[in-house]
Amino acid sequence: MLNGDRMIIKCKNKLSILATDQMEKFPVLPLRTGVLFPGAMFTIQVGRQENLKLIEYCRSKKKEFIATYAPPKENDPESYSIHQVGVVAVIRDVKHGSGNSEIVTIEGLKRIAIVEVVKMEPYIIATANYLQLQKLVPKSIKTQIDGVMSTVREITSLDPTYSPEHLYILKMNQNNPELMVDMTASSFHFPLSAKQEMLETIDLRLRFKILLNYLNAELNQVATLHNINVNVQKTLEEEQQKHFLRQQLYEIRKLLGEDFTEEKEAARLRNAIKNSPHLPSEVAARALIEADRLAQLSTASAEYGVTKNYLEWILALPWGKSKPEDYQISEVEKILSSGYYGPGNLKEQILQRLSVRKLLGGANEIPTLCLIGAPGTGKAAIAKTIAKALGKDFIRISVGGISEAAELKGTSRTFLGAMPGKIIRALREVGSCDPVMLIEDIDYFNIDNDSSVNMALLEAIDSRRNSQFLDNYIGVPFDLSKVVFVCSVRSYEELPEQFLPRFEIIELPGYIEKEKIVITKRYIIPKLLKRHGISKSELKFTNKTLSRIINHYTMEAGLLGLSQQLEKICRKVALEKVSKKKKKWSINEKNLETYLGQPVYIPEKAETSPEIGIAAGLAWTGAGGDLMFIEGLKMKGEGQIITTGSLGEVMKESIQAAHSYVRSKADVLGIDSNDFNEFDIHIHFPSGAIPKDGPSAGVTVCLVIASVMAERPIRNDIAVTGEVTLRGKVLPVGGIKEKVSAAYRAGIYNVAMPKENKKDIKELPKEILRKTKITFLERVDELFELCLLDFTPSSFTLEKIFAEEIEKAKKKIGKGSKKKSKKTKTKLLK
């Protein structure tokens, strides 16, 4: 509907108004589906109440009205605007339509321009002026008329939807170019905007020019469709001829008594389809149709090989072939504990998932499991252990380098060399529809970040949708809901964004040295000895040897590099065994370099004595925990902070916060406040080639700045970690297990960490906990007293001590207060 401020779409061209004493008022009928031209008839269905009232009025009173094109608005299809230029029309016929509608035939008479809408009810009424048409017909119009006739002749000859009568009508109106151009514009399938453009064009030559442009465009389209139809018809005729000849050949071979190989093959496949117990009914029906087609094809045709290959794929897939979910959770727990050495909470999460699967009878209704961890942290071992615990087959596929959805979902059979996608091929190889499938290298998947490729993989592994997984080659849905999908990736940041809502993420922490030794002796060494043909009695490793390999030949959170170093030793031992040089080998610290060469890495060690401006910080990297010595130096300057060592933005901000806090505590630390304006401070993080970032070095930097400015040495037997705020609070950090282990490995048995990390030390081995003294910090002030030598407790620290002592005294008074006299209570409080 039109709103109160009806909008009239003004004509772009300058209109020539017919001179008259006064403007006439006309009812206005908006046309939504067409444009009416003078001299043309137009049949419409009228259903709106206001338009029905207009029709009834004009019909009964035999009144003329304006018919104008009213296109709907894009944002609101119910509302519309009316074009300024329309046609004065009369009603020629009215019939009853469906519902309360009327079928109305109207005829256009003259062009007219609407000036203003003056009334809304009961229908639109507007004032309008007739348009002044061109009186003299240009002599050059004859050429344009011939062009129109020629183009219309070609269109009607190519497109059967256009009646040849169009050309006959145009010939009859050659002497009236105005009527001819309007009739042509009305008869052909032009866009409504194009028809309105021709209606608004008064200049006859320009109108013919516009008409010819649209006729030529229509001719191009009709010619293209005609060529397509001709080619299709030719192809159909060729196929019919081939079918006829093939049928004749069949009858001839039948009379000659020849053997029909294709018929026998089709019969074999047909019997296999009917006798397949697991094949779904819709798949069997599709396969039988293809088998019938195969019987009609020649063995020499390419289509025969494609169809046969497709049927063999259908029969080879494990439709509904699954193993019973009869496992016991207690047995699963034992297998997980024996097959994987790692955190107990991780195993508990896996047991919870498997319990849900058992209760649902083998269906997966929970998010897909995604394991995040550095190479060698046991992602594949967990997946194998899950498969072993469930009694399922195990598949390990890599999606690294895949950049097209067809590699996952297959290609259509119409393409040369078509085949199913990677997932369907893997299921055919394993022969069951409920294996444990480990999908690796997602961090190398879809490097171009094409969302369609991500969605193709998600369609397979997402439990919400994979019950109807459609491979393009197979062409029928395959149920993947019973497959136990396990995905693996190196880090959280490398996961595609589309996967995050549908993944249950479990992060695998790196192993500390003691754990690596246990796993190596329990799993890696026996496997390597068997792989290299060496018995356990022939080759032995000591714990010290393994420790030296871990610290001097590898730098990683996992066990991949350690396994590779042990493989080198096994290969050299295998060579010596074949050469019969020795019968037994014992690898120790003395002869290790004979097998592995010079050490690759030199681990950090504790400083031998306390020094000013150097503190031992603890870092958590992709290779596990590491000891990081932070150095500081003051020099004459203007109070600037200089930082070096490939530091990230977060770490630089942490240094600035630490500097501000130490500066605010200058009087407590015995530092002249003017020193911060007269001296520059240089903070350096060694190993400058390695990028560093994160806030966990905040307290260490505080300690270094305080030491430098107060000129007090820092203890060399303690390592610290924690984030610091501007108010001096110590906030929790991550990687506590790896950091404390790094300190222990470097010979530092005193560690200071945030108090909120107290819960994280439970994961540490008992040996480390027994030997390491851990101090928990709430404020940086406590760290100054703990680590700075020759440091007198500040007033803040003394106040805290007094407050604690008063609280203890109050608790003592509270215990058995009835038995104690008032004098005793006063004494205790003092």
Which residues are catalytic, by number? 696, 739
Angle at 598 between CA 592 and CA 603, to 5 degrees: 95
Whole-angstrom distance, CA of residue 68 vs CA of residue 814: 97
Which of 557, 511, 509, 485 is CA-nearest to residue 346? Answer: 509
Helix (H, G, I), strand (E, B) or coil at 440: strand
Structure-token pair, residue 114: 């609407």
Helix (H, G, I), strand (E, B) or coil at 397: strand
Using only C-alpha atoms, the chain has a radius of gyration, in whole angstroms, of: 44
φ and ψ at 91, to 5 degrees?
A: -90, 130
- Biggest alpha carbon–alpha carbon distance for the chain: 133
Q: What are the DSSP calls for 143-184, one per residue?
A: HHHHHHHHHHHHHHHH-TTS-THHHHHHHHTTT-HHHHHHHH
Helix (H, G, I), strand (E, B) or coil at 624: strand
Which of 25, 37, 12 is CA-nearest to residue 116? Answer: 25
Length of the chain equals 830
Q: Which amino acid is at 354?
A: L
Helix (H, G, I), strand (E, B) or coil at 517: helix
Which of 737, 659, 666 is CA-nearest to residue 698? Answer: 659
What is the enclosing helix (H) or strand (E) of 67?
strand 65-69
Q: What residues have CB less than 8 Å from 380, skipping those under 6 apart?
A: 396, 438, 440, 488
For 67, 263, 337, 394, 395, the CA distances from 355, given in Å and listed in that order, are: 73, 51, 16, 19, 22
CB 680 within 8 A of CB 639: yes
CB 626 within 8 A of CB 742: yes
Whole-angstrom distance, CA of residue 55 vs CA of residue 63: 10
Peptide bond into 754 cis (omega under 30): no
Structure-token pair, residue 161: 């939807």
Helix (H, G, I), strand (E, B) or coil at 38: strand
Whole-angstrom distance, CA of residue 293 vs CA of residue 265: 12
Whole-angstrom distance, CA of residue 604 vs CA of residue 743: 9
Instruction: Name residue 9's beta-bridge partners.
Output: 83
For 68, 528, 535, 581, the CA distances from 574, given in Å and listed in that order, are: 96, 11, 11, 10
SS3 sequence of 633-678: EEEECCCCEEEECCECHHHHHHHHHHHHHHHHCHHHHCCCCCHHHH
Whole-angstrom distance, CA of residue 134 vs CA of residue 178: 9
Tell me the pairing of strands 484-489 and 436-440. Answer: parallel
